Amino acid sequence: MSSESNERIEIPEGVTRALVVTAHPDDVDFGAGGTVMALVKAGVQVTFCICTDGDAGGFDDSTDRSEIPAIRRAEQVAAAAVYGVTDVRFLGYKDGYLEPSHDVQRDIVRVMRQVQPQLVITQSPERNWERLPASHPDHMAAGEATSRALYPAVRNPYAYPELRDNEGLEAWTVNWLWLQGHTEPNHWVDTTEFFEAHASQTSHMENLEDMLRSWGEMQAAAAEFETGRLAEAFRQIKLPD
Ligand SMILES: [Zn+2]
């Protein structure tokens, strides 16, 4: 194994702010956690935007369901801090019911205009039959709503005019999109050095560390990185100027 290339992340020129939009509080752990750490280490300011509260899963019956959103939000804020991310926005939609509606699109456009990222990372809006859990309907909805927000709404001052009229949020053009869980990745981030810190986020799930490691190895092999390296894979799209 080569020791020269400890870091390998190709960040498009001009990217100083990145926005990660996911459906559920823990989605970033599955396929983008190491990448977020690499971005932060490279000096990129990262914001998380989480569409649902993840209130449909992860607890036994002894927990009052009404408490779950607050618990999940607190967990995510703590997890984000481990990634070096202190700005976490919650849209508060109901877990399991997310749709790329105009309400969701407008809420994402609002966050994009507030944060003004050059790079957006989200979940693939296309179903991946090889990795169906990546294509949970909420994930595809988050990816679709984000894609629609990116083009054209966020850059069109006349889309959702209330954002401009009532909140003073001007149009903003995002340059790059990275989709996680896509069937045809074309951009890989070497996440080897971040694996331990990242895997510690998922210790509550048995065998998950092994699963994440084997995914990472598969992606690194696809990227033709040296044996022993780990990677996360994205479909990178250059958005129109
Ligand atoms: Zn999820």
C-alpha span between 100 and 111 (Å, rounded): 15
Task: Pick the closest to residue 22 from 63, 80, 81, 84 (CA basis).
Answer: 80
DSSP letter for 172, please: -
* Rounded CA separation 137/100 (Å): 10
User: How many A from CA of 181 to the centre of ligand 1?
Assistant: 11
pTM: 0.92
Ligand 1 centroid, distance to 96 Cα (angstroms): 9
Residue 10 alpha carbon to ligand 1 centre in Å: 26
Q: Which two tokens stand for residue 184?
A: 């045809």
Determine the distance separating the centroid of ligand 1 and the alpha carbon of 65, expressed in angstroms.
18
CA 233, 183, 121: angle at the middle one, nearest 5? 45
Q: What's the confidence (pLDDT) of residue 4?
A: 44
Q: Per-residue confidence of the chain (241 residues) as pLDDT tens digits?
A: 333 445 589 999 999 999 999 999 889 988 899 999 999 999 999 999 999 987 776 556 777 777 777 888 888 898 899 899 999 999 999 999 999 999 999 999 999 999 999 999 999 999 999 889 889 999 999 999 999 999 999 999 999 999 999 999 999 999 999 999 999 999 999 999 998 887 776 666 678 888 889 999 999 999 999 999 999 999 999 999 9
pLDDT at 226 (0 to 100)? 93
CA of 27 to the centre of ligand 1 (A): 5
